[in-house]
Amino acid sequence: MWPLWPLAALLALSQALPFEQKGFWDFTLDDGLPMLNDEEASGADTTSGIPDLDSLPPTYSAMCPFGCHCHLRVVQCSDLGLKAVPKEISPDTTLLDLQNNDISEIRKDDFKGLQHLYALVLVNNKISKIHEKAFSPLRKLQKLYISKNHLVEIPPNLPSSLVELRIHDNRIRKVPKGVFSGLRNMNCIEMGGNPLENSGFEPGAFDGLKLNYLRISEAKLTGIPKDLPETLNELHLDHNKIQAIELEDLLRYSKLYRLGLGHNQIRMIENGSLSFLPTLRELHLDNNKLSRVPAGLPDLKLLQVVYLHTNNITKVGVNDFCPVGFGVKRAYYNGISLFGNPVPYWEVQPATFRCVTDRLAIQFGNYKK
């Protein structure tokens, strides 16, 4: 019964929030740090992604590519050393798993007749070329995982039904205007691990998208991109070369719940720049070059988690985190990390953390020169 696991995993994915990384095939997305499990952050409809298996025609059990495992409309052809997409795939297939093969090209008719396909997994192949009409038959495709390949551009003419695109760890340098045109259902894009610079995003590249989740980590960004979708609830720009956050860098992203800027080179966060994020709940600024706690944190009334570890912070003021006087914080902190900073923690006043749920939520110490 072991071939049942891909479908079970897929159904679990379709119900998961877009920012929860564990459970996906692409385990490289794990940060190793816990995140809040807050369903309203995604804005996603957690029931609409499940394929209605009962409405599909009977399974063509006699059709299964050689060497693959086929069961319950799942075709698993991973780790077979395939050079091309196999033939004789049942037209009622909902999940096609082709990861960990040697496929170098996706041809025009590779997915012909697969009108019920819901998820396509092409992770870790050698794909460098995709025919412009290759995805045309996939009218119900919602999840496309094409990470860890040799693509130099985002595939054209993606299915309008697509909800989730994972295309990280390729060789993409440019995101042209119109490449996401017509993708009204898209809510999650993972495109980290590509050599993208700020100049690689053409003006209007994300026009029309209503994304909840976007990750452009491990790229070559030197600043926060100015033209990303304003609908974002979660934005991850970790492991880049960002050096500063200027006043209006975050003006467009007032709906953010989570902002990931860890592992950059940030030395300065301009006063007032965080005031544009009234709904922010989690802020990652770890592994940067900050010399002080960013101004404006007490005014973020919903902020619950702040990662500031491994910076150059030498002092923590009594009002750096909590509102002054009668200021009200609607959600108390349940995580503040300050370890790996040259802070003499014995000098920090206890009142500094008066709006923290528990003293165990504060992490200090472990600094080495």
Determine the longest span between alpha carbons in the chain, in angstroms.
Answer: 73
Question: Tell me: the pLDDT tens digits for 182-214?
Answer: 999 999 999 999 999 999 999 999 998 999 999
HEC readout, the chain: CHHHHHHHHHHHHHHCCCCCCCCCCCHHHCCCCCCCCCHHHCCCCCCCCCCCHHHCCCCCCCCCCCCCEEECCEEECCCCCCCCCCCCCCCCCCEEECCCCCCCEECCCCCCCCCCCCEEECCCCCCCEECCCCCCCCCCCCEEECCCCCCCCCCCCCCCCCCEEECCCCCCCCECCCCCCCCCCCCEEECCCCCCCHHHECCCCCCCCCCCEEECCCCCCCCCCCCCCCCCCEEECCCCCCCEECCCCCCCCCCCCEEECCCCCCCEECCCHHHHCCCCCEEECCCCCCCCCCCCHHHCCCCCEEECCCCCCCCCCCCCCCCCCCCCCCCCECEEECCCCCCCHHHCCHHHHCCECCHHHEECCCCCC
- Rounded to whole angstroms, the Cα distance separating 157 from 100 reads 24
pLDDT of residue 339: 94
- Rounded to whole angstroms, the Cα distance separating 72 from 60 reads 10
- Rounded to whole angstroms, the Cα distance separating 269 from 213 reads 23
Tokens of 367: 């600094």
The angle formed by the CA atoms of residues 161, 260 and 147, to the nearest 5 degrees, is 45
- Rounded to whole angstroms, the Cα distance separating 250 from 226 reads 8
pLDDT of residue 359: 84
Task: Give me the domains of the chain, ranges plus CATH numbers.
Answer: 61-164 (3.80.10.10)
Question: Tell me: the pLDDT tens digits for 153-189?
Answer: 999 899 999 999 999 999 999 999 999 999 999 999 9
pLDDT of residue 328: 77
Q: Whole-model pTM?
A: 0.83
Question: Tell me: the pLDDT tens digits for 304-332?
Answer: 999 999 999 999 999 999 998 766 788 89
Q: Is 309 exposed, middle or buried (0-12, 13-18, 19+ CB in 10 A)?
A: buried
pLDDT at 119 over 90: yes
pLDDT of residue 188: 98
pLDDT of residue 24: 36
pLDDT at 303 over 90: yes
Question: Tell me: the pLDDT tens digits for 48-79?
Answer: 444 554 444 444 556 899 999 999 999 999 99
pLDDT of residue 263: 98
- Rounded to whole angstroms, the Cα distance separating 152 from 297 reads 40
Residue 39 pLDDT grade (very low, low, confident, very high; cuts 50, 70, 90): very low
When mean pLDDT is compared across 28-32, 47-51, 293-297, the lowest value belongs to: 28-32
Query: Between 27 and 196, where is the model more confident?
Result: 196
Sign of the four-CA dihedral 332, 337, 341, 342: positive
- Rounded to whole angstroms, the Cα distance separating 245 from 223 reads 7
- Rounded to whole angstroms, the Cα distance separating 255 from 276 reads 9
| Exposure class string for 121-145: b at 16+ Cβ within 10 A, else e | bbbbbebeebbeebbebbeebbbbb
- Rounded to whole angstroms, the Cα distance separating 277 from 296 reads 10
Residues paired with residue 306 on neighbouring β-strands, in sequence order: 283, 336
pLDDT of residue 37: 41
What is the chain's mean pLDDT, rounded? 86
Mean pLDDT of 336-355: 92
When mean pLDDT is compared across 23-37, 153-167, 271-285, 354-368, the lowest value belongs to: 23-37
pLDDT at 364 over 60: yes
